[in-house]
């Protein structure tokens, strides 16, 4: 996926709170699955890969009427309502997904993995006290090691954080806020033997800078349940400040949520553009958001195109290409995120990329921070790029 942000229900503290609230009572879930990824040898610093793994667990949990919790970078808990048969099937389903990833990302580790240690199943109708004790001990160990939320002095998002961002904006005004927190990056065509040609410029909010000011000591993760609320606030600010970070009205790309398209601020943005409407705007929608609500994506796509705008599907992980029909999204642009570990995956899915291009979709390899990314992209037929390395080429 480039699944992007996953819909995890919380961390170890959140799960403990849920189990304690259930106590000995019959709840809406009856089974706890404890997943340990540490023996797989996967790179925990690969955000895209970890997002993909988290989303797999969250999806399985949702189907079974429960939720998934990120206990640490290498430990996930799934609570679900399972029949006796499902208590055998679901762990096998999760293992199948994990082994598929392992074969792709680190096949040299496959033979050494002890399959019996990856997933532990606990029947909460008879072992609730043991489940709680395990999580309490786990939480303490994780705090000591500094691997769960709060252990490093950071706190999770709260409902007031969006208000804090708005308060900073109200204090400094559109221009200063845009100059301080908004950054631009070019989307560039790079053909063999020709000078790079900028086709648009993407503008986005610098979350790291917000984290040093308006959201000081806040741990900002896309898996946080309140993250959509924050992004909705940021979308509204980005739309409202457009004339300050893009004063010349050049072709621009804006990251928006499905909920933002058609909202009141979006309508004001349209009105401010006059007759041009969205003719000079690329609306980028995250693949993860699209997959969560395809009907809403279709509605957003119709609305944007109806105003003359361009649709881009953003944050597509190379690993998802094997199961995605890029052309099926009917988008003008598809943005694949470059990562060195996805190099072979890109090569294997060259036909998927070409199919999208043949359908009229511009495929962009983004987050290209090295010459290697540019070279690999060109080898698989990609001619549009974005990233720090591309910015350096334009200087």
- The last residue of a domain, from among 145, 173, 189: 145
Looking at the structure, tell me whether residues 131 and 171 fall in a common domain: no
- Residue reference for tokens 């003008």: 332
Residue at 156 is within a domain? no
Q: State the pLDDT at residue 3.
A: 33
Range of the domain at 62: 12-145
Residue at 150 is within a domain? no
- For the ranges 91-100, 124-133, 144-153, the maximum mean pLDDT occurs at 91-100
Are 237 and 178 contacting, i.e. CB atoms less than 8 angstroms apart? no
Looking at the structure, tell me whether residues 209 and 354 fall in a common domain: yes
Whether this model's pTM surpasses 0.85: no
Looking at the structure, tell me whether residues 66 and 135 fall in a common domain: yes
Q: What is the dihedral of CA 162, 165, 169, 172, to 10 degrees?
A: 160
pLDDT band at 193 (very low <50, low <70, confident <90, very high): confident
Looking at the structure, tell me whether residues 305 and 180 fall in a common domain: yes
At residue 5, does pLDDT exceed 50? Answer: no
At residue 168, does pLDDT exceed 60? Answer: yes
Tens of pLDDT, residue by residue over 335-388, are 999 988 889 999 999 999 999 999 999 999 999 988 999 999 999 999 999 998
Q: What is the CATH number of the domain that holds 219?
A: 3.20.20.450
pLDDT band at 214 (very low <50, low <70, confident <90, very high): confident
pLDDT band at 237 (very low <50, low <70, confident <90, very high): very high
Looking at the structure, tell me whether residues 168 and 85 fall in a common domain: no
At residue 203, does pLDDT exceed 90? Answer: yes
Q: State the pLDDT at residue 71.
A: 82
> Smallest Cα–Cα separation from 165: which of 254, 222, 230?
230
Q: State the pLDDT at residue 28.
A: 82
Looking at the structure, tell me whether residues 114 and 201 fall in a common domain: no
Q: State the pLDDT at residue 68.
A: 92
- The last residue of a domain, from among 113, 145, 177: 145
Looking at the structure, tell me whether residues 329 and 270 fall in a common domain: yes
Give the count of domains, the chain.
2
> What CA–CA distance (Å, rounded) separates 170 from 292?
33
- The last residue of a domain, from among 97, 115, 145: 145
Looking at the structure, tell me whether residues 86 and 180 fall in a common domain: no
Q: Look up residue 299 and give its two tokens.
A: 């509605």
Q: State the pLDDT at residue 4.
A: 35
The percent of residues above 70 in pLDDT, for the chain, comes to 91
Looking at the structure, tell me whether residues 258 and 354 fall in a common domain: yes
77: Cβ contacts below 8 Å, ≥ 6 apart:
12, 15, 32, 33, 34, 35, 68, 69, 71, 135
């Amino acid at each position: 996926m480039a699944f992007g942000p996953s819909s995890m229900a919380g961390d170890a503290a959140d799960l403990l709170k849920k189990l304690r609230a259930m106590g000995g009572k019959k709840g809406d879930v009856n089974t706890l699955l404890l997943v340990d990824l540490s023996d797989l040898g996967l790179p925990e610093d690969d955000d895209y890969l970890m997002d993909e793994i988290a989303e797999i667990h969250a999806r399985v949990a949702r189907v079974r009427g429960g939720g998934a919790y990120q206990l640490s970078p290498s430990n996930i808990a799934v609570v679900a309502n399972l029949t006796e048969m499902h208590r055998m099937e679901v762990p096998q389903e999760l293992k199948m997904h994990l082994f598929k990833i392992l074969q792709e990302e680190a096949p040299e580790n496959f033979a050494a993995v002890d399959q019996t240690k990856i997933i532990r199943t606990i029947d909460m109708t008879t072992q609730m006290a043991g489940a709680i004790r395990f999580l309490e001990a786990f939480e303490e160990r994780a705090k000591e090691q500094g691997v769960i939320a709060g252990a490093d002095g950071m706190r999770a998002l709260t409902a007031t954080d969006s208000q804090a961002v708005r308060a900073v904006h109200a204090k400094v005004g559109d221009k200063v806020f845009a100059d301080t927190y908004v950054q631009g990056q070019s989307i560039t065509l790079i053909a063999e033997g020709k000078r790079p040609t900028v086709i648009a410029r993407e503008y986005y909010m610098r979350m790291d800078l917000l984290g040093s000011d308006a959201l000081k000591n806040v741990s900002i993760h896309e898996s946080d349940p309140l993250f959509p609320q924050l992004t909705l606030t940021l979308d509204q600010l980005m739309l409202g400040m457009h004339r300050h970070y893009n004063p010349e009205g050049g072709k621009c790309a804006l990251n928006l949520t499905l909920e933002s398209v058609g909202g009141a601020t979006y309508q004001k943005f349209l009105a401010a553009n006059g007759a041009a409407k969205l003719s000079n705007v690329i609306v980028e929608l995250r693949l993860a958001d699209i997959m969560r609500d395809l009907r809403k994506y279709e509605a957003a796509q119709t609305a944007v195109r109806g105003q003359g705008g361009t649709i881009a599907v953003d944050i597509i992980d190379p690993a998802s290409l094997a199961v995605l029909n890029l052309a099926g999204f009917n988008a003008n642009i598809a943005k694949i995120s470059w990562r060195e570990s996805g190099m072979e995956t890109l090569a294997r899915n060259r036909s998927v990329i070409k199919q999208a291009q043949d359908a009229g979709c511009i495929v962009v390899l983004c987050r290209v921070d090295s010459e290697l990314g540019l070279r690999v992209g060109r080898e698989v037929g990609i001619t549009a790029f974005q990233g720090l390395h591309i910015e350096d080429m334009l200087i």
